[in-house]
Amino acid sequence: MQGGTGDEGGKPEFSEAFQRDFETLLKWRRDVRRFRTDPLPEGILDHLLTLADLAPSVGNSQPWRIVIVDSPQKRARIIASFEAENEAAARRYEDDKGRLYRQLKLAGLKEAPVHLAVFCDDAPAQGHGLGRATMPETLAYSTVSMIHTFWLAARAEGIGVGWVSILDPQAVAGILEVDAGWRLVAYLCVGFPEEEHIDPELERAQWQSRSPLETRLFRR
């Protein structure tokens, strides 16, 4: 099989080497919590976001709204929100699980050079409502598709991404002063990983191992 992407408008052909590399990329796409503090190279974030913007969306609505959080004051307030929610979450666990939870590193907010808050516009004019009348949640699904595209593009450049979900969405929206119709989908830490691992950190910490596909695959 030949490599390359084919003629403009033609069917692309991907080499076996590319297919193997893509499988490797999927295996090495990890939720990073331990970041180096060095800044990203000039222009790379714009490049990654441009690639992510190629992601599919319901009705071609492109409902994602991305806030690059540069303000140290706003970052500090986000970190405070995380710490409060993390402490509340820790109290929900008991005995050994609770002790283990407190040992986990669940965010790289203080080290990561880039913070991205990704929102979904729940009523975008773009797309004219196509495809979401019965399933309006497809707007959020589309936003997640963009995030995953960004994640893979970043990993291909050796850049790590961490998804921080232990946050109060309304608090984050208030801190960042976004449109009232936007809903927080993800808060991402982005930067070069401090260390590289092919296995998930939660698996290494003995919190939860991955399960085999057949336990989640059904036929009807």
Give all domains of the chain, ordered by start, each with its CATH number: 29-211 (3.40.109.10)
What angle do helix axes 44-52 and 138-156 make, rounded to 10 degrees?
140
Kindly report whether the global pTM for this prediction surpasses the value 0.75. yes
- Name the residue among 203, 172, 202 with its Cα closest to residue 185: 172
Per-residue model confidence as pLDDT tens for the chain (220 residues): 344 555 566 889 999 999 999 999 999 898 899 999 999 999 999 999 999 999 999 999 999 999 999 999 999 999 999 999 988 888 888 777 778 888 777 789 999 999 999 999 999 999 999 999 999 999 999 999 999 999 999 999 999 999 999 999 999 999 999 999 999 999 999 999 998 888 778 777 777 788 899 999 999 9
Looking at residue 109, its amino acid is L
Please calculate the CA angle 158-24-196 and round it to the nearest 5 degrees.
45
Residue (of 69, 70, 105, 88) closest to 167 by Cα position: 88
Both tokens of residue 191?
């930067």
CB-based contact 52:150 (threshold 8 Å): yes
